[in-house]
Amino acid sequence: RTVHVVNMDPAAEQFEYTPSFDIRDLISLDDVMEECQLGPNGGLLYCMEYLLENMDWFRDQVEDYSDDYIILDCPG
């Protein structure tokens, strides 16, 4: 099977791989910190809550890889 690596870290800036899809296409930590006047921890929580509210975006991305393995590269 084919393997896809997905970036789920809205603060990530450098990768050792090319993500198949990237949460930063939906929301980025830098934008949240600037627009909402939040620090990095509060901004990261906001980003994860935003992802939960927009799971349709995630489902649409994952649909393309339904027969493949998906590795989620999460924050931390």
What digits encode the pLDDT tens for the residues 28-71? 999 999 999 999 999 999 999 999 999 999 999 999 888 899 99
How far from the centroid of its chain's Cα atoms is residue 18's Cα? 13
Q: Which two tokens stand for residue 10?
A: 């809205």
Residues 6+ apart with CB under 8 A from 71: 3, 4, 5, 6
pLDDT digits (tens, 9 = 90+) for 32-42: 999 999 999 99
pTM metric for this prediction: 0.87
**Helices 40-53 + 29-36 axis angle, to 10:** 110
Residue recorded with tokens 């450098």: 14
